[in-house]
Amino acid sequence: MDAILIQILNGLDKGGAYALIALGLTLTFGTLGVVNFAHGALFMMGAFCAVLFNKILTISKKVKDESITFFDAYKETPYLEIWWGDTGTAIIDYSVPLSIFFAIPVMLLVGVIMERGLIKHFYKREHADQILVTFGLAIVIQEIIRHFFGANPIPTPAPEIVSGSAAVGAFFGLNENLVYPWWRLIYLAFSLSIIAAVFAFLKFTTFGMVVRAGMADRETVELLGINVQKRFTVVFGIATVVAGLAGVMYAPILPPDYHMGMDFLVLSFVVVVVGGMGSLGGAVLAGFMLGLLQSFASMNEVKAILPGIDQIIIYLVAVVILLVRPRGLMGREGVFED
Amino acid sequence: MIKKILSSNPLIMLIFSAVVLSAPIWLTPLGANYPDLLQKFAIFGIFAIGYNILFGLTGYLSFGHATFLGIGSYTAVWSFKLLTMNILPAIILAMIVSGVFALVIGYLSLRRSGIYFSILTLAFAQMAYSLAYSVFTPITNGETGLQLSQQDPRVLDAMAGIAVTDGIPSTNLFGTLIKSMDGYFGFYVAAVMLIIAFYISLKIFRSPFGMKLRAIKSNQTRMKYTGFNTRPYLLTAFVISGMYAGLAGGLLASIDPLAGAERMQWTASGEVVLMTILGGVGTLIGPMLGATIIKYFENIFSALNDSELHNIFDFLPAGMQEFMVTVVSPFVGEGWHLTLGLVFMIVVIFLPGGIMQGLNNLFGFIKRLFGLGGSSSSAADTVSKGEAS
């Protein structure tokens, strides 16, 4: 029972990341009709926003170390600590959650530039061309990041206060010793709230209503004199921000390196396809479902029966779903079926 | 009349063979006359030509072709271990086994088209890659990669009375070692394979079968409405291109009897897509050209470092030199992939037909410049121009 609870939490946690990335991908499909292979790179850029923000906060100056009296010793002290003392230290400690506010404008800018500068010219081209050009873009982004941050993963710790583990066992009335890292629980809550925010935005605002109408029947909405294109560009920006935020918060879980985007990209494409192209609800559902499946497949009891299943379960599910239910779980008719 | 002769099969094959076989001579001034590199040109040329039969003719974008390359390599190494060090059985087996895998994967994947097809091939490729690392370790030897050892049975060699005396035996072709002639023999073996592969591809391009594949690309729905079952043709194209990849994998293993799972990674599949696009999708010679160019610049660019850049820009004044080195250095050495990505994006954006389209445009421009008239640009023209350049 304990193991099952842990696997459920693991699965939901992973599923949260999958769902966030897949949500952004689906938004791009559904609105612009573009297959974005650079979406994984955007996730990676988000994670590096956290790294960069941390670097900016800890810009340091050499200060004489007073605790050593035998000789002149110097240590690096961030300016923030010099200026604001303990408040500065606290800000540095909270750099990952704070970098959310840094990542939102950065990613929005990246998204809008990307859409206006590149994607715009690929609406009318074949899907193969869209895949190829964004694939090229992903390589470029990845290599630029590697040039500036190096090839090694950069550890980005979560705030001190949540670096420990939560006693989930006691909470659910199970084994007292059952614990789970706080940050992963926060990530789960964070991903759920972002998903809820995106859905609420699309459901309850006029802007969202127009976007949904445009997704369903673009031509009619345009005939009503609404500039659908402009709104879709904003939606692309939102998709970029969602991917970026997923990356920011994932940084403490997985130290960011330059190719983490590619690893997630393939998975999130599978998630999107399983959920059904162009279906937002499907993407979220499939994200959590595949996360859960993957973590249950990695239990030792399951692996004993089917060796290696944890490695391939997601792809296996994708193949089966695509062959049996080509539109995925909740896909609409006529999306990407040319 | 002249055009007809220029585009006839024997002439094209003659020129192609001459260009390929004389590669060690005309690549010397370009600094690419190393057997290792020449072998890579030929092998990846085969891989790209095969990929082009699927992607170029039918338009089905597969993101999992490296799987067949990897399977070919594994099969070839197993053939070296169990049967004989002769590469011919290894290559034939590699083609057969990867063909069988292509048949199964293709049969399932081709039930969908467009992006769904791409994702399906990607999913199969990722499965093969993960399994090669985990469950199939007895067959693939996991992360270490499959290697030869002295204790391998080598049944056929033993029957023929070839005993292994010391060390690990080398691969050979009926007794001639692949590494003989400083490795050029290996290149010529690969080059002959390349010429055969190119001939088959030429035949396919100019056959009714190739025409049907192109028709599927331009409008599959119409093909179906005329009562034409497209699936078997697509599957045939998929299996053929899978076998080409198997051949390339077998040759890779023949030259260096090692097989590792990283050859099957999806970025490796991406590389063959890059080659094909860069050269020109759907053209005869384009993919070969793309493979050569990528491998050539990979070799040159990835070897450059800052001190060599200083040598290159030596002729500039000191300040300029520093500036140029600073500007160029992110794009070479480790950053070579950045250059590749940028070039690839530029090609897809501005020149969807790849280098072949660029050459075509250039020749058209020159023709108009000199008022020679006749701005025809048939596929056959493209071929001969590609070889002439």
Q: Is the pLDDT of residue B304 over 90?
A: no
The nearest CA of chain B is from the CA of A338 a distance in Å of 7
- Residues 242-301 on B with a CB inside 8 Å of A are 266-267, 270, 273, 277
CA distance B282 to A316: 32
Please report the pLDDT score of residue B106 as a whole number. 94
- Contact between B62 and B121 under an 8 Å Cβ cutoff? The reply is yes
Please report the pLDDT score of residue B373 as a whole number. 55
Neighbours of A33 (CB within 10 A): 18
Please report the pLDDT score of residue B243 as a whole number. 95
Residue A258 touches partner B, C-beta closer than 8 Å: no
Q: Is the pLDDT of residue B385 over 60?
A: no
Give the CA angle between residues B378, B384, B386 to the nearest 5°.
100
Point out the least confidently predicted range of A64-73, A85-94, A275-284, B365-374.
A64-73
Residue A302 touches partner B, C-beta closer than 8 Å: no
Please report the pLDDT score of residue B199 as a whole number. 93
Dihedral (CA of B209, B214, B220, B222) sign: negative
> By C-alpha distance, which of B214, B189, B234, B190 is closest to B46?
B190
**Cross-chain residue pair A266–B273, CB shorter than 8 Å:** no
Q: Which of A273, A313, A336 to mutate to test the interface with B (most CBs of B within 10 A)?
A: A273
Please report the pLDDT score of residue B103 as a whole number. 95
Residue of chain B whose Cα is closest to the Cα of A139: B341
**Cross-chain residue pair B341–A139, CB shorter than 8 Å:** yes
Kindly list the residues from chain B whose CB atom is less than 8 angstroms away from the CB atom of residue A147: 330, 335, 338
Per-residue pLDDT band at B386 (split at 50, 70, 90):
very low
Among candidates B120, B131, B345 on the partner chain, residue whose Cβ is nearest the Cβ of A322 = B120
Mean local confidence (pLDDT), A225-230: 88
Kindly list the residues from chain A whose CB atom is less than 8 angstroms away from the CB atom of residue B341: 136-140, 142-143
The nearest CA of chain A is from the CA of B173 a distance in Å of 38
Report residue A77: phi and psi, to 5°. Answer: -125, 125
- Contact between A111 and A237 under an 8 Å Cβ cutoff? The reply is yes
**Cross-chain residue pair A311–B134, CB shorter than 8 Å:** yes
Distances in Å between the Cα of A252 and the Cα atoms of A25, A54, A96, A220 are 23, 12, 8, 45
Dihedral (CA of A271, A277, A280, A286) sign: negative
Point out the least confidently predicted range of A67-71, B27-31, B184-188, B356-360.
A67-71
Residue-number span of the structural domain to which A299 is assigned:
2-50+96-324
CA distance A143 to B335: 7
Whether residue A183 is contained in a domain is answered as yes
C-alpha dihedral (A87, A88, A91, A92), degrees to nearest 10: -140
Give the CA angle between residues B300, B67, B357 to the nearest 5°.
50
Helix (H) or strand (E) holding A76: strand A74-78
Q: Is the pLDDT of residue A57 over 70?
A: yes
Whether residue A244 is contained in a domain is answered as yes
**Cross-chain residue pair A133–B135, CB shorter than 8 Å:** no
Q: What is the pLDDT of residues B196-247, one digit of tens each?
A: 999 999 999 999 999 999 999 888 888 888 888 889 999 999 999 999 999 9
Kindly list the residues from chain B whose CB atom is less than 8 angstroms away from the CB atom of residue A290: none
Kindly list the residues from chain B whose CB atom is less than 8 angstroms away from the CB atom of residue A319: 108, 120, 123-124, 127
CATH domain B2-303+353-388 topology? ABC transporter involved in vitamin B12 uptake, BtuC (1.10.3470)
Tokens of A243: 């991917």
Kindly list the residues from chain B whose CB atom is less than 8 angstroms away from the CB atom of residue A123: none
Per-residue pLDDT band at B307 (split at 50, 70, 90):
confident
Residue reference for tokens 């994006």: B345
**Cross-chain residue pair B112–A326, CB shorter than 8 Å:** yes
Among candidates B111, B124, B341 on the partner chain, residue whose Cβ is nearest the Cβ of A143 = B341
CA distance A177 to B13: 74
Please report the pLDDT score of residue B379 as a whole number. 47
Q: Facing residues of A78 across strands?
A: A60
The nearest CA of chain B is from the CA of A311 a distance in Å of 6
Burial class (CB in 10 A: 0-12, 13-18, 19+), A144: middle
Please report the pLDDT score of residue A326 as a whole number. 76
Q: Is the pLDDT of residue A173 over 80?
A: no
**Cross-chain residue pair B349–A307, CB shorter than 8 Å:** no
Q: Is the pLDDT of residue A178 over 80?
A: no
DSSP A243: H
Q: Is the pLDDT of residue A338 over 50?
A: no
Helix B286-303 vs helix B35-58: angle between axes, to the nearest 10 degrees?
140
Q: Is the pLDDT of residue B271 over 80?
A: yes
Whether residue A216 is contained in a domain is answered as yes
ipTM value: 0.80
**Cross-chain residue pair A266–B335, CB shorter than 8 Å:** no
Mean local confidence (pLDDT), B317-321: 76
Whether residue A123 is contained in a domain is answered as yes
Residue of chain B whose Cα is closest to the Cα of A122: B349
**Cross-chain residue pair A311–B133, CB shorter than 8 Å:** yes
Kindly list the residues from chain B whose CB atom is less than 8 angstroms away from the CB atom of residue A276: none
Please report the pLDDT score of residue B204 as a whole number. 92
Residue B340 touches partner A, C-beta closer than 8 Å: yes
Residue B310 touches partner A, C-beta closer than 8 Å: no
Whether residue A260 is contained in a domain is answered as yes
Please state the separation of Cα A66 from the chain's center in Å: 43
DSSP B376: -
Q: What is the pLDDT of residues A67-82, one digit of tens each?
A: 767 777 777 777 777 7
Please report the pLDDT score of residue B372 as a whole number. 66
Residue of chain A whose Cα is closest to the Cα of B135: A308
**Cross-chain residue pair A336–B114, CB shorter than 8 Å:** yes
The nearest CA of chain A is from the CA of B368 a distance in Å of 29
Per-residue pLDDT band at B163 (split at 50, 70, 90):
low
Kindly list the residues from chain B whose CB atom is less than 8 angstroms away from the CB atom of residue A142: 337, 341
Q: Is the pLDDT of residue B281 over 90?
A: no
Split into its structural domains, chain A has a count of: 1
What rounded mean pLDDT belongs to chain A? Answer: 83
Please report the pLDDT score of residue B198 as a whole number. 93
* Cβ density class A177-203: b for 16+ within 10 Å, e for less: ebebbbbbbbbbebbbebbeebeeebe
More confident residue, B251 or B138: B251
Residue of chain A whose Cα is closest to the Cα of B122: A266
**Cross-chain residue pair A311–B130, CB shorter than 8 Å:** yes
C-alpha dihedral (A213, A214, A218, A219), degrees to nearest 10: 60
**Cross-chain residue pair A132–B277, CB shorter than 8 Å:** yes
**Cross-chain residue pair B348–A129, CB shorter than 8 Å:** yes
Distances in Å between the Cα of B337 and the Cα atoms of A43, A106, A113, A258, B299 are 20, 25, 23, 13, 12
The nearest CA of chain A is from the CA of B297 a distance in Å of 17
Mean local confidence (pLDDT), B278-299: 88
**Cross-chain residue pair A136–B344, CB shorter than 8 Å:** yes
Q: Is the pLDDT of residue B165 over 70?
A: no
Q: Is the pLDDT of residue A214 over 90?
A: no
Point out the least confidently predicted range of A291-295, B199-203, B216-220, B259-263.
B259-263
Strongest mean pLDDT among B23-32, B246-255, B352-361: B246-255
Give the CA angle between residues B75, B79, B85 to the nearest 5°.
135
**Cross-chain residue pair A137–B341, CB shorter than 8 Å:** yes
**Cross-chain residue pair A140–B342, CB shorter than 8 Å:** yes
**Cross-chain residue pair A136–B341, CB shorter than 8 Å:** yes
The nearest CA of chain A is from the CA of B73 a distance in Å of 22
Per-residue pLDDT band at B382 (split at 50, 70, 90):
very low
Strongest mean pLDDT among A276-290, B66-80, B366-380: B66-80
Mean local confidence (pLDDT), A59-73: 73
Q: Is the pLDDT of residue B31 over 80?
A: no
**Cross-chain residue pair B131–A129, CB shorter than 8 Å:** no
Q: Is the pLDDT of residue B339 over 90?
A: no
Total residue count of chain B as it appears in this document: 389
What rounded mean pLDDT belongs to chain B? Answer: 83
**Cross-chain residue pair A312–B273, CB shorter than 8 Å:** no
Kindly list the residues from chain B whose CB atom is less than 8 angstroms away from the CB atom of residue A137: 341, 345
> By C-alpha distance, which of A111, A166, A125, A170 is closest to A35?
A125
Point out the least confidently predicted range of A308-317, B13-22, B39-48, B360-369.
A308-317
Of the CA atoms within 13 Å of residue B330, those in its CB half-sphere come to: 16
The nearest CA of chain A is from the CA of B359 a distance in Å of 20
CA distance A12 to A97: 20
CA distance B347 to B21: 29
Kindly list the residues from chain A whose CB atom is less than 8 angstroms away from the CB atom of residue B266: 266
Among candidates B123, B270, B273 on the partner chain, residue whose Cβ is nearest the Cβ of A319 = B123
The nearest CA of chain B is from the CA of A169 a distance in Å of 33
CA distance A196 to B249: 48
Kindly list the residues from chain A whose CB atom is less than 8 angstroms away from the CB atom of residue B267: 262
Gyration radius from chain A CA atoms: 22
Mean local confidence (pLDDT), A102-130: 87
Please report the pLDDT score of residue B153 as a whole number. 78
Point out the least confidently predicted range of B25-34, B158-167, B203-212.
B158-167
Whether residue A67 is contained in a domain is answered as no
Whether residue A170 is contained in a domain is answered as yes
Residue A132 touches partner B, C-beta closer than 8 Å: yes
Share of chain B above pLDDT 70, in %: 93
Per-residue pLDDT band at B92 (split at 50, 70, 90):
very high
Q: Is the pLDDT of residue B13 over 90?
A: no
Share of chain B above pLDDT 90, in %: 25
Tally C-beta pairs within 8 A across A and B.
110
